[in-house]
Structure 1
Amino acid sequence: MKNLPQKVRSKKLSSRVDLTAMVSVSFMLIIFFMVIGELSKPKVMELYSGRGGCGPEPECNKPDENLVLTLLLDKNDKIITYHGLLTFPIQTPKKVNYEKNGIRKELMEKNKMVLEYSARLGRPERGVTVIIKPTKKSNYGNLVNILDELEIANIDSYAIIPQFTPEESKLLASN
């Protein structure tokens, strides 16, 4: 009998697939979409007016002007502050600078004063609410500096409003 050539058998590879990398990627995608879903939810801030809702009269639903400090940011690193309403200010408007003894001192004093005021009235302690009004002539760095000073003074209630009242426009023009 002749030697027949033997069949060459192909080597069988392992049919096992390593899915470790696929599982890691899947978990990372799940975490990514959970975080994105949480961050995309709208955030709402409660508006504290200082008084409870007392009725439909406009006078009784006004915010307490004792809790408000307004900062007007103008060109050449100029800041004008006033406490309360500009028509009847608790503190007359004054110029301050961006130094330690300027705006930082002013913010800390007003926050302390407002905390004492709300404690005297038996309300929950709430610090000053700062309204920041940058003019078109002020620069972005001034706004960042003010936000840093608010952080240093532990003031977490503020608003950035680009509109000015006619009285505030006159005040800026006169200074």
Structure 2
Amino acid sequence: MAELNTGGGDKDKKVRSKKQNAGVDLTAMVDLAFLLITFFMLTTSMNKPQSMNLAMPDKSEDIPKEEKIKVDENRTMTVLIGGDNKMKWYMGMPGTPLEGPTESSYGKEGIRKVLLEKDKQAKAYSQDVEKGLIVIIKASDKANYSNLIDILDEMAITNIGTYAIVDITPEEVEMLGEN
């Protein structure tokens, strides 16, 4: 609250203009500050955590044969992830691969370059832009989580629309050279 000091002194002296101590009432300023803080807290949006959508297949075994997807081995690439940042890929079936297994590295000059090249070949083979490369990702028990995330990031960067994370077979663990 503002105060008014009149300084009532002696009455015998000359009457001069009285100097008043100016007091500033900050109550309205504090109210305004709290209103502004409340307004900005309610109107701002918090950063949402970034996540990648991952569709998982149905675990039921009763899928009729008509609904099972037939995959051409010329369009199928399997990426094997092992321990110590080791990665290999091959085209086709594991028993009789069309190409590979070939060791590769992570990043722009490694698996990304291979994915882009194989996707272009798969689209040319199927003569349909929408039927591109199908990537099957298989991680061994010794693979670390960051390598799996790196491969998923490469799928997003190269715009590979069809990929799946599948359990690795003992035959493919031998391909990686892990016992």
Q: TM-score range by the shorter chain?
A: 0.5 to 0.7
Question: Which of 80, 90, 95 pairs up with 2:103?
Answer: 95
Alpha-carbon RMSD across the aligned residues, in angstroms, is 2.5
- The structure with the larger Rg is 2
What is the percentage of aligned positions where both structures have the same residue?
43
Q: Specify which structure has the higher proportion of helix.
A: 1
SS in 1 for 2:109: helix
Corresponding residue of 1:158: 163
Structure 1 CA distance, aligned partners of 2:114 and 2:104? 8
- Asked whether 1:167 is paired with 2:175, we answer no
Deviations 1:32-57 (A, max 9, x none): xxxxxxxxxxx787xxxxxxxxxx7x
**Which residue of 126, 129, 133 maps to 1:128?**
133
Q: Give the equivalent residue in structure 2 for 1:23.
A: none
SS at match of 1:65: coil
Q: How many residues align?
A: 116
User: For residues 93 and 165 of structure 2, what CA distance do their matches in structure 1 show?
Assistant: 17
Q: Partners in 2 of 1:73 and 1:44 — Cα distance?
A: 19
Deviation at 1:166, TM superposition (A): 3.3
Any stretches of 5+ residues in structure 2 without a counterpart?
1-54, 58-64
Shift in Å at residue 136 of structure 1? 1.4
In 2 relative to 1, CA 174–144 (structure 1 residues): closer, same or farther, beyond 3 Å?
Answer: closer
TM-score by length of 2: 0.58
TM-score normalised to the size of structure 1?
0.59
Once the 2 structures are TM-superposed, how far is the Cα of residue 164 of structure 1 from its aligned partner? 2.3
- 1:52-67 matched pairs, under 5 angstroms: 62-67=70-75
Contact 2:139 2:168 in 1 (8 A): no
Equivalent residue of 1:64, what SS?
A: coil
